Structure 1
Amino acid sequence: MRTRTLPFPEDIVHPLSGSVATRLLLTDGRRARGRLAFVAALAVVAGLLTASPSFASSVSGATFTGGTGTVSSGGLLYAKQGGALTLTVLTSADTKCVDVSGAFTTQASSSTAKSSWTFTSTAGAGDGVQAVTATASPNVNGQGKCTGPSASMQASFTLDNTGPMVTAALSPVPNAAGWSKTNVGITWSATDAGSGVGSGPTPATDTVNTNTAGIVKTATATDRLGNGGNGSVTVKLDKTAPTVGGTWAPAPNSGGWNNSNVTVTLTCSDALSGIKSCTGGGRVL
């Protein structure tokens, strides 16, 4: 049986691997099958040449920055209600669509791929960490949905709509009933669990020097976002000793004398803090 090599216009080289399609050595009896094999090889290589590679988008950064109504403290971004927020998402250069979900939901797409995406939002009510997830995809379909292999990254900011806590320390410390008997000094302090104290407390100190059945003293402070807080304390001061009186029986004569046993009964009174105890009196023989 004779064999011969069919002529080929050129070897077929894979553009990525560099492999060459081998020439087919055909016998006269297998020429038809050889041609089919050659056509199949051409189809495979053509598919490799024309197929679009599938890339997965990636996310290299997702960060919130703020405008009016926001402040950075300790590496965190705080925002009060109405504060202006901007989310910047950095992706691989093949990205055409980005979804944002979580604390707020939005989407952006582009007919041409790009690597930087920005989204704006406004801070809401409440307190605490607010997180979003940014997901990048290489394509967007006809329904406007992100498609293709994707990757995601989280970003967060912290809502702070509560002002500082303002508290008072009294000196001297009042008794169990809340009363003091000497002049009272007040020292105010402020703490804030969110963005931190921005100003105050105002006043920082105060005093109470006159008798009072209860006077309310107040102070204020604001945090770094402008949220206000206030504190109050009631001071009760009684620097006057009780009044002690008494009666006796029988009553004495005009000279103040008795000629029989006398029973003395004491009475105590106090116009402010009241009487804690009143002891004494008795019978004089």
Structure 2
Amino acid sequence: GGTYRVLNEIFSEQGITVSYVNTAHLEQVKDALRPNTKALFIETPTNPMMHVTDLPEAIALAKQHDLLTIVDNTFMSPYYQRPLELGADIVIHSASKYIGGHNDVVAGLVVARCSSLGEKIRFYQNAAGAILGPQDSWLLLRGVKTLALRMEKHNENALKIANWLTAHDLVEKVYYPGLETHPGYEIMKKQATGFGGMISFAVSHPDIVSTLLENVKVITFAESLGGVESLMTFPARQTHADIPEEIRNRVGVTNCLLRLSVGIEHPDDLIKDLKEAFDAYQQ
């Protein structure tokens, strides 16, 4: 949501048009290409609908048209998905999330596949003065030390919770690429080594949303993601509120959708917390 708003503001001032398409469907990407297209920006899985893009195929398409491929790899982290090894030119991370891992630092990372592109990025970064302070850098280094352990636990917990949500009467749809029913499941197995800790799910009535958010205790109602604590977000009113309602509803970010960043707590505690919050609605 924030990316949508910022890109529109930045590029509209420069007279540049940004086309938003579901890159999980490469035909949409092909249709959106123009003679002056410079880059293909991919987020996979997407936030919050968890659409999965076939990175090797998308990168091959970009190369055919002499485009840069930029991949937002925040949800998967370098532990589970490494787009540079698949041929991407630039990978970005919100390092505030899984790389930091403790919800206590604000940072971003940009990684380039070749030194010449890296030098261009370094020049702009230096000119803008957008560098981290020593404390922020130390926090990121601390987080990276436990990245592998944390990602394994996020993944393990998320799969258990996704299966539990799938069986709940008040849940209409669960979006998690680790479920075999997810349309991107086979692609994820091909290009990643895990499925991550992010789940989105749609409940059967909007009133359930407020009840869940008011009654969870182990899970915190908060916008961020990727930390050791489990956080639940209401995208339509928080992270994606800047997107026009018509577009949100069309892509599935409705008033019934919740996003869950599954932490590293014991999964039984998380499931009990969700069960009690759902029970509060049914009482």
Fold shared, TM-score > 0.5 on shorter chain? no
Q: Normalising to structure 2: TM-score of the pair?
A: 0.17
Q: Normalising to structure 1: TM-score of the pair?
A: 0.17
Which one scores higher on RCO, CA 8 angstroms, separation ≥ 6? 2
* Bigger fraction of residues in strand: 1
* Bigger fraction of residues in helix: 2
